Structure 1
């Protein structure tokens, strides 16, 4: 855990015996839930770092998410041996002693194989507003909605042709943006799952976030990690790229990492953002005054032979 204003490390949560792929913090920052390759999800005390409960799964746990109200959480686990991938929901009432929690899920949603025999692998899970549905992404480019009470599949769309690496929502969860290995990131309306915008790149996109203060999208990714050791940072394309949300145009980038960017998040106040990469670094970037004061004019159509000039509007 780190302080966002100065990068000072506060503490460490020790306990998992495998890679930690995902985490979520409850509404009052009192509890943290984590997803690990050791086939467990853990509930932690955010202040002390103490493990409150250990929830065992049939396979590696890929993602976790607190429900609105933080009285329960959902997890997604990979297929393992004879077990299919699963969605699990656990009750964790805030007003009860964690030692009384049941480590058996209240609901398990089995994710069977596809008609062609391939196993499905969920990649992200999010609760929609009022806990009305579970939003799950998959490695085949699909997005599915599930009923958290009955486990029924409500809807399915295919925004991408390849794996969806990450999904992010705006603050009020009316928009979501996907990041895919097919070199694109797409913006959708949550209510009717209508496709709104597409942001095209020349590299796999590992994460994307929506700015709350400007009509901007931040994208991160880069060349596959297995090829990084033989590639310079410039060639590997490990920058954070800035796109206009409405016009889909790239107008700037921020360099610094020498490995693929795996995670991005922007401060709700819009003044800084964090990036985590395969190079082992988390970088905290503060926007300068020129970016914060920058206006977003309506772009003009270029005349014949005239090239558009990208505005390097964001600097580390």
Structure 2
């Protein structure tokens, strides 16, 4: 059934350059959650579930490509073009640790127990840092040689106690056991991987590569990936965490946000951005999804529903 309400997004201003990455926290006991954004202006921002600004993490000297929150939202980790990854206290906004790299850090993640962070980027290396021993040398995930991939590492995610997934421009998606620092499985795509996100509620990795969107079980098994070929190249994709009946994409080819059914059928095109859409992400309750371009826009999954800052909608 098509909603009688027009999709009108909330605009979350504040960034001065393109937004490169968006990440929601898990749902807190009171039903709320947080949103953290990365931007080429070098200033990641933290927002309430309504989109209201909480604060800005100040300290990077280059574009920030990725920012993630810990499971309890007390910490954030960011990766930047200034060759560092930083860990932040989300209550005070102060940096707790800064980890130097030899090249641009494109992606970061925090372990479920919040004791470690993982980084990847243009060094083609995936490193694990121990936050309880921040001055210790990091461990390197690799099978042979000194690199983890043969191309820039675009995304890293950590799930379960010991499993990490990494995606690279070398067309490979790899799973790693952090206890051995060795890969345990690999998938090859026909084109460089442009994005990968973990949909923790559905237990799937959502991967974009060329014109392909793939939905893959996060825990490696024999289940084949559900892959779709679109008519355009998505920059990012996100699946509805509850209904699992639709996914949303952005693209660098235009300024639109698209909604697709899980069969690939295009259901709706949403216009509002004034530049390429670099990233999209569903909230953990599935009620809204965020898109990042020159600004952040929050869209209702069911337009017209009373929710968040849409409380006045009748």
- Report what 1:253 is aligned to: 269
CA positional deviation for 1:266? 1.2
Residue from 142, 157, 165 that aligns with 1:135: 165
Please state if 1:239 is matched with 2:247.
Answer: no
Query: Contact 1:243 / 1:251 at 8 angstroms: preserved in 2?
Result: yes
Given the two structures, how large is their TM-score scaled by the length of structure 2? 0.75
For residues 172-187 of structure 1, the aligned pairs below 5 Å read 172=201, 174-180=203-209, 182-187=210-215
Residue from 181, 185, 192 that aligns with 1:151: 181
SS in 2 for 1:62: strand
More helix by share: 1
| Structure 1: distance between partners of 2:94 and 2:173 | 34
For residues 52-131 of structure 1, the aligned pairs below 5 Å read 52-79=96-123, 85-93=124-132, 101-110=133-142, 112=145, 119-131=150-162
Question: Using a 3 Å threshold, how does the CA distance of structure 1 residues 65 and 106 change in structure 2: closer, same or farther?
Answer: same
Query: Contact 1:168 / 1:210 at 8 angstroms: preserved in 2?
Result: no
Moved more, 31-40 or 142-151: 142-151
Moved more, 102-111 or 260-269: 102-111
Please state if 1:161 is matched with 2:215.
Answer: no
| Structure 2: distance between partners of 1:290 and 1:77 | 41
Question: Using a 3 Å threshold, how does the CA distance of structure 1 residues 56 and 104 change in structure 2: closer, same or farther?
Answer: farther
- Report what 2:230 is aligned to: 201
Query: Contact 1:89 / 1:105 at 8 angstroms: preserved in 2?
Result: no
- Report what 1:282 is aligned to: 296
CA positional deviation for 1:4? 4.2
Per chain length, whose mean CA-contact separation is higher, i.e. which structure has more relative contact order (CA < 8 Å, sep 6+)? 2
Query: Contact 1:23 / 1:64 at 8 angstroms: preserved in 2?
Result: yes
Query: Contact 1:186 / 1:195 at 8 angstroms: preserved in 2?
Result: no
More strand by share: 2
CA positional deviation for 1:3? 3.5
Given the two structures, how large is their TM-score scaled by the length of structure 1? 0.75
Structure 1 unmatched runs, 5+: 80-84, 94-100, 224-235, 293-316
Residue from 280, 299, 304 that aligns with 1:264: 280
SS in 1 for 2:161: helix
| Structure 1: distance between partners of 2:83 and 2:178 | 22
Calculate the aligned-residue CA RMSD, in Å. 2.4
- Report what 1:305 is aligned to: none
Question: Using a 3 Å threshold, how does the CA distance of structure 1 residues 147 and 43 change in structure 2: closer, same or farther?
Answer: same
Q: Which has the larger radius of gyration?
A: 1
Residue from 285, 289, 292 that aligns with 1:273: 289
Query: Contact 2:157 / 2:197 at 8 angstroms: preserved in 1?
Result: no
CA positional deviation for 1:259? 1.6
